[in-house]
Structure 1
Amino acid sequence: MTTRLLILVTFYLTCEWSGVVAQTSPKMYEGKVLVRGSEAPLEFATIKLLSVDSSLMEAGTTSNAKGHFELQSTLDSVVLEISFIGFSTLRHPVSLVNMGSDLGVFHLEEESRGLDEVVIRAEKSQTHYELDKRVFHVGNDLVSTGASALDVLNNVPSVYVNIKGEISLRGSSGVRVLINGKPSVLAQGNTLGTLTADMIERIEVITNPSAKYEAEGTSGIINIVIKKDQRQGVNGSVTLNTGVPNNHSLGFSLNRRTERLNLFTQIGIGHRTFPEEYETENKDLAEMSSILSTGKSEMHERYYTINLGGDYRISNNSTLSISGRYAFESEEGDSKTHFKHLSPNGQTLSEWKRTELTEAPNPKWQYEAIYKNLFKSKIFSDSDSESKEHSLIVSATSDYFAKDQVSNYSNEYTSGETGSTKQETLSDNTQNEYTFKADYTNPLSSKATWEAGAQYVLTSVSNEYAVNDLIDGVWIIDPDLSNLFDYKQKVIGVYTTGSYELEKLGIKGGLRLESTTVDTQLATTGQSNSQAYIDLFPSIHGSYKLHSDLSLQLGYSRRILRPSVWSLNPFFSIQNNFNIYSGNPELQPEYTDALELTSIYDFGAFSVNGSLYYRYTTNSVENITTFQDNVATTMPTNIGTSKSGGLEFNAKYMPNNWISVNGDFNFGWIRKFGTFEESVFDFHADQWTSRITSKFNLPADISLELIGHFNSRRQTLQGTVSQNVFADLGIRKKLMKGRAIVNLSVRDVFASRIYEVNTFQPEFTNYSWEKDGRFVTLGVSFGFGKGDAMEFSGQKAF
């Protein structure tokens, strides 16, 4: 660890010195940006000085709260470019020869919407629609200010995040989450909590991805794009959170930017507790006996994390970015479960208490290097309202994850039997992942663009798992529940896409080829399994603008969902040794063909978009539960094919500046055909979900947000999952013109979020019930320098 930190610090100092040496006595210029008509200052407008000869950026900055900006230049003639989302970009040739320091006042006009973009404006947060994705721009409002990435995601249309950080898209968990277009340990569940809204430029929701994106994820992709702070100087923030149950954290963020160099660091420390209540019942219908259990558990997490990195502009057309992240997480868990074994007439045959104590240190590393080169050719559109960069981006990412977990179990009998039994599980898990990626974009004209690229992802996991029983004072290994599982997956992908856009019509097509090899081995038994397959993934998307307020989009893509290492590992959990989850090393990947039709309608204060979607899946995976000796074992299994589809609506109403209402509704159906244990089945079910979000901007810089969620009851292959109704609340007070923020959030206000599953089979029934409870968090943050207040959310370290 010390060596790695020294490398990062050396890079930091080297780049700092290089940035100083590279200065060539430029001259400082200043100006002001206003909104035409209202003459109001425009904050955070992007100002660039472009070379007249190459159209490449020579200097850049953003405007402050008064619309004022300053930047430096060594050129005699430049093109001044001023842009801001929702406004037409201004380009103005300027001769700097014999000119003073004042460039003058510039006005931006609100732009009219183009073919493939419909903008829904609200407090600087905007959603727009492109040929193959929806883009949510994170703005300075209640949803984003001081929030974590998980909080932001939970307010993005089509996306749902539960209280444990599990993400679903249109009700399906087969979603791929990327950071800056690449796999990352940052994108794994609650670890997204370490990304704050101030770090995020936009979130791309891609329900029907083009061939440019990796084919993983049958329900689509969520890509979180981290922004690069354009504000020069020193910026930072400090945040303190406290909550019930334990949710305490202290975060510090610092950024320093010069003309060529941008250095950043974040440090955080925190403690969180995840409580849970649960009940289960296993009933043998042949003997009519049953096993009942009730209990409570708590998982305590203590962590610290440090992020350090920088961007260095090597020249006017090339940039190198290097970053490193380290986190250490310590988990301590305990649970107490009360078991009863009942006879057919309800008499207690035996009764005992099972306790668990778990410890798991968890270090994580991530390194990333990105090189971006802008070629001299840059295509401007006919209206000059936007430009398309001719670029090459090459990146390399290395992720490391380790977890050494020890769990001790004790069974104390109170009736039926005497004495006690003890068990322990030892799990030593390490994961390495390497991602290499190259993307090339060539704007052939203002209407046509060609893209090509390649990606290589290598994942290697080793999991040593042992279950020991204490017999006559000696720990004896249980060979039926112990193993050493090794997993290695290689995915190589290449793609090409082409797009052509006219005034009303746009089309984008592409083809991706991916080669996958997967090798698994149970070292304790010598059992091995290898898979190798090559797949083609075509995509085509089109859009047509019927009139200025109504557009239609149609898209098709082919997707894959590869089994994860935990789905393949045949032994996973015996926390409750009457309800066991086991992976399946024979599991095959799912393949999905997806078709989607979307309409986008925007008129003033009200906007709505609706989508019809259909998916056909082969090798469909279903969690199957089997029963023997009162033990229910759940295992993922390929059970045949499935057809699914649905209707989705997203609507927003904003009658004035102080209130807005968002509504999301999704109705989905599924039909599965297949064979399980020589029985042919035809399974049909439907479900629907909805969410209503109300935001109020109150006097004295106070904001209020209320969110209501409803997930309907749904049927599964072997049973049912109960409906789910809950509400969230947020109150925020801004101080010192937004530099300080006090935020109170309550998740699951009425503690009504319950997960209940019933399994019905001819030979047995299985029932499980879980509840996490209410979370209340109070946060205070302060921004200094040119920075704004931001929140280090207190979620898991990355």
Structure 2
Amino acid sequence: MKFFQLISLFFFVVSGIQAQQVTVKGSILDTSSQQPIPYATIAVKSLESQTLISGTTSNEDGLFEMEIDSQKVTFEISFMGYLPVTIAEFKVSNNQIDLGTILLQEDSQQLDEVLIVGQVSQTEFKLDKRVFNVGADLSNTGASALEVLTNVPSVNVSIEGAISLRGSQGVEILINGKPSVLASEEGNALGTITADMIQSIEVVTNPSAKYNAEGTSGIINIILKKDERKGFNGSVTLNTGVPNNHSLGLSVNRRSEKFNLFSQLGVGRRTRPVENEMESIDYSSNSIVSSYGDGEKNESFLNFTLGTDYIIDDYNVLTLSGNYAFEKEDENYSTFFNTYSDNALETAYNRLQDVTAENPKYQYEFNYKRDFKRHKDQSLLFSALGSFFGKDQTSNYANNYSFGSTDDSQQITDTDFKEAEYTFKLDYVHPFNDVHTIETGAQYILDDVSNDYTTSNLENGEFVIDNDLSNDFNFTQNVFAVYGTYAYEKEKWGVKLGARLENTQVNTLLENTNEENDKNYTNLFPSVHTSYKFNDDISLQAGYSKRIYRPRLWDLNPFLNIQNEYSLRSGNPNLNPEYTDSYEITNIYKLGKLSLNAGVYFRYTTDVIERIVTYEGNVSTSMPANVGTNKATGVELNAKYSPSNWLSLSYDFNFNTYKRDGSFNDQVFDFRANQNTSKLQTKFRLPADFDIEMTGNYNSSYETIQGEVSDTWFVDAGVRKKILNGKAIVNLGVRDLFASRIQESYTYQEDFYQRNWSKRGRFVTFGVSFGFGKGEAMEFSGSRRH
């Protein structure tokens, strides 16, 4: 009852914020074709300060309607690919403002940052970054943020959930532009963010000095929704699917002249089945180990966000927000092992694994932003962010023999993991005029992690701790940074110069053995970006930045993962960070109904971190190590063709060739190889408000430092129907339509060979979304911006 009382109190407080309102309406058309422009942005700004105070988007027929509290405003209408229109003069009659028909003229290139709000994923350019904005991809029904990333150009997500950008896994994941416990790789944190919570996803392939230097291949920034329309808005979505994929999402927003209260709630349960195989051969002893099995991971999750913006005046805004997420995991796996010696069967047994875990996460944030009257782009922003992530996990293992032994064995592992992180950031932007701008700021990140890991073996009816596989590992990392940038930008040409200085202090401690490792290093990270607009259809962008990849907890933690007794994984507390120099040249063309982005890039990485596999007694152990340098040269192509208003085609292609030079323990790892990825997306708009989408993905095979990874391909599909004038949406999504997403890797060495194979299979989800108040039905992938 207390829960429902709190919810009732919340809605009572929200609905009590009232203001006198004026209704604004109009329609938006393309100047040339006279066709409606759906999802164009209508921004309402204060007439005196030109700060944003409200806004909405046009519907599929180009129509819009909203309510505002003040008549001292201007309206700015914009959409990607069109010149913006500003309306400062209008008539008010009977508390209504009719802006009539607004015509937008096409513009082939926009260098200012704009978030894309249409149904089709698009690309935008800025002086210091290139951003991919996700459209309303139909196959994302009920998907988590990790699954949504598979539809983002240049981004690949493996079956195990490893995220890579342009073939490199050195990626920094941010939430709303900041480090977040929800983006932590220590657990399935991104699984608590469902697609309907996401507004857009930005991929920054070559960040400027303003951004964290972390992430050798770039930054992925997941922007969550925060509706800012005046009045009471909300939407609710319900998803169900096979295998189990059930979730409920609720978004509520109330905005007045002084306050914007926002909240989101997501609850659900999902099942992730998996099949796996392994085969290893020790040529020196002519022994073989093979295994095959399956299992599933069941996750129940809750994610709740509550926050408020307090608009002090036209120039000052305070934001307070909090987020609580909780996961409960229940996993079970059954794997059959056979061992052979000289082709004769020695043992056969079934290894059973049952895992239970509880993962609480919470985050709280304070922001203060000050704008200035002298220039609309001058601003000061201070933010303080605190977060916590915990994992209390117990794994039970049992080996049941059917041949070669009668001594069944049991093991238990217990994990008590805790991570606290605090981020303080100050940013200041000072435009001297519309051409010259400087930015400066500082950031301090404190990260404190502990992992108490215990392995116990069943001996004489009692579980006894195995000290060789147990320890308490503590990890702290503090990073202090200051930066400055200068930008010169005119209509045709612009340049941005920057430098970032970061000091890093790292300490690792194995408490049981008192093994301690301290590192303290300071680095300078310069950046240079420039762009030139030849004409309305052709633009060129180039950039350079220096990046760093700091080893994470699971890179450093020396504990062994014993899920598979013959294939162990551990960390290495002696790792050094990777450093990458990144160069990129990209251009954008518009040829009628075809838009084309093409670019080349080069990355030089030192102290490359690779997992090295060693083999002894049929047991392989994978451990990361610094093994040398890597030179990667690549070509990337993104194309979109919209021959009509009912059909659009998008194609993304990335090819890179790389040269590795390095050694480890007197073993040389020099080689050359290449890889490529491609993605083709087709969207159809049919009569009766039906939309159909098909997305095909292909990742080529590629060579690794000790072997190779096989190629993969899979297809996602979806169909959507809008009903009740767009207030409700029904959506059917299928991920991996042909159940073809199989990952297979091989390790080749002089004395041993190993093959690993895994598969997850097809997922089908049906979703219904409904908007209430002034809200609209969710677009599932969260591409809407209001």
Equivalent position SS for 2:725: helix
Residues 598 and 711 (structure 1 numbering): CA distance in 2 closer, same or farther, change over 3 Å? same
Residues 456-509 of structure 1, C-alpha deviations (whole Å, 9 max, x = no match): 111111000111111111222111111100000111111111111123211111
The answer to whether the Cα contact below 8 Å between 2:134 and 2:781 also exists between their aligned partners in 1 is no
Query: What residue number does 1:381 align with?
Result: none
Which residue of 54, 68, 93 corresponds with 1:71? 68
Comparing 219-228 with 196-205, greater Cα deviation is found at 196-205
Pairing of 1:45-64 with structure 2 (within 5 A): 45-52=41-48, 54-56=49-51, 59-62=53-56
Any idea what the Cα deviations from partners look like across 1:68-113, whole Å, max 9, x if unmatched?
A: 3432238xxx4523222244444455599x9874445253432534
2:79 aligns to what?
A: 85
User: Residue 779 and residue 92 in structure 1: after superposition, are their counterparts in 2 closer, same or farther (change >3 A)?
Assistant: closer
Deviation at 1:34, TM superposition (A): 4.2
Structure 1 residue 178 displacement after superposition = 0.8
Kept in 1: contact 2:42–2:77 (CA 8 A): yes
Cα separation, 2, equivalents of 1:755 and 1:114: 39
Give runs of aligned pairs for residues 41-190 of structure 1, distance below 5 A: 45-52=41-48, 54-56=49-51, 59-62=53-56, 65=59, 66-73=63-70, 78=72, 80-86=74-80, 87-93=82-88, 101-105=95-99, 107-113=102-108, 116=111, 123=119, 125-138=121-134, 142=138, 149-150=145-146, 152-188=148-184
Q: CA deviation at 1:366?
A: 1.1
Corresponding residue SS for 2:744 = strand
- Equivalent residue number for residue 518 of structure 2: 530
1:353 paired residue number: 350
- In structure 2, the partner of 1:365 is 362
Q: Which residue of 2 aligns with 1:636?
A: 624
Compared CA separation, residues 218 and 73, structure 1 to 2 (3 A): same
Query: Which of the numbers 232, 235, 242 marks the counterpart of 2:240?
Result: 242
1:555-704 superposed matches below 5 A: 555-704=543-692
How far is 1:47 from its partner? Answer: 3.9
Give unpaired runs (5+ residues) of structure 2: none
Sort the Cα spacing of 1:42 and 1:771 in 2 relative to 1 into closer, same or farther, 3 A: closer
Deviation at 1:423, TM superposition (A): 0.9
2-structure distance, mates of 1:684, 1:83: 51
Which moves more between the two structures, 712-721 or 526-535? 712-721
Q: Distance in 2 between matches of 1:95 and 1:720?
A: 65
Return the TM-score normalized by structure 1: 0.90
The corresponding residue for 1:267 is 265
Q: Distance in 2 between matches of 1:355 and 1:714?
A: 33
Q: Give the Cα–Cα distance (whole angstroms) in 2 for the partners of residues 33 and 740 of structure 1.
A: 22
Cα drift, residue 28 of structure 1: 4.0
Specify the alignment match of 1:756 in structure 2: 744
Does the C-alpha gap of structure 1 residues 82 and 198 become closer, same or farther in structure 2, counting only changes over 3 Å? farther
Does structure 1 conserve the Cα–Cα contact (< 8 Å) formed by 2:684 and 2:692? yes
- Report what 1:374 is aligned to: 371
The verdict on how the C-alpha distance between 1:704 and 1:164 changes in structure 2, with shifts beyond 3 A counting, is: farther
Post-superposition offset of 1:687:
1.0
**Aligned length, in residue pairs:** 770
Which residue, 762, 772, 779 being the options, matches 1:774? 762
* Deviation readout 1:35-68 (Å, 9 max, x if unpaired): 475495876643424244x4445x5343665433
- Sequence identity of aligned pairs in percent? 49
Distance change in 2, residues 1:193/1:695 (3 Å): farther
What's the TM-score, normalizing by structure 2?
0.92
Structure 2 residue aligned with 1:318, among 316, 320, 342? Answer: 316
Q: Distance in 2 between matches of 1:290 and 1:262?
A: 64
Greater alpha carbon shift after TM alignment, 514-523 vs 60-69: 60-69
Shift of 1:250: 2.1
List aligned pairs for 1:459-474, cutoff 5 A: 459-474=447-462
Please give the alpha-carbon distance, in whole angstroms, between the structure 2 residues aligned to 1:564 and 1:231.
40
Task: Quote the residue 1:254 is aligned against.
Answer: 252
Amino acid at match of 2:400: E
Please give the residue correspondences for 1:547-558 in structure 2 after superposition, counting only pairs within 5 Å: 547-558=535-546
Contact 1:241–1:793 (Cα < 8 Å) also in 2: no
- Consecutive unaligned residues of structure 1, counting only runs of 5 or more, are 379-387
Counterparts of 1:652 and 1:31, CA distance in 2: 32
1:274-313 to 2 correspondences below 5 Å? 274-313=272-311
Partners of 1:451 and 1:492 in 2: CA distance? 17
1:511-556 deviations in whole A, cap 9, x for unaligned?
Answer: 0011111100000101010111000000001112233211111111
Q: Judging changes above 3 Å, is the alpha-carbon distance between structure 1 residues 109 and 41 closer, same or farther for their aligned structure 2 residues?
A: closer
Residue 11 of structure 1 deviates from its aligned partner by 10
Counterparts in 2 of 1:124 and 1:231: CA distance versus 1, 3 Å: farther
1:740 aligns with 2:737: no
Instruction: Give the aligned CA root-mean-square deviation in angstroms.
Output: 2.9
Q: Does structure 2 conserve the Cα–Cα contact (< 8 Å) formed by 1:118 and 1:602?
A: no
Partner SS for 1:575: coil
How far does residue 673 in structure 1 lie from its aligned partner after superposition? 1.1
Taking the aligned partners of 2:211 and 2:754, their CA distance within structure 1 comes to: 40
The one-letter code sitting in structure 1 at the alignment partner of 2:316 is S
Distance 2:55 2:413 in 1: 56
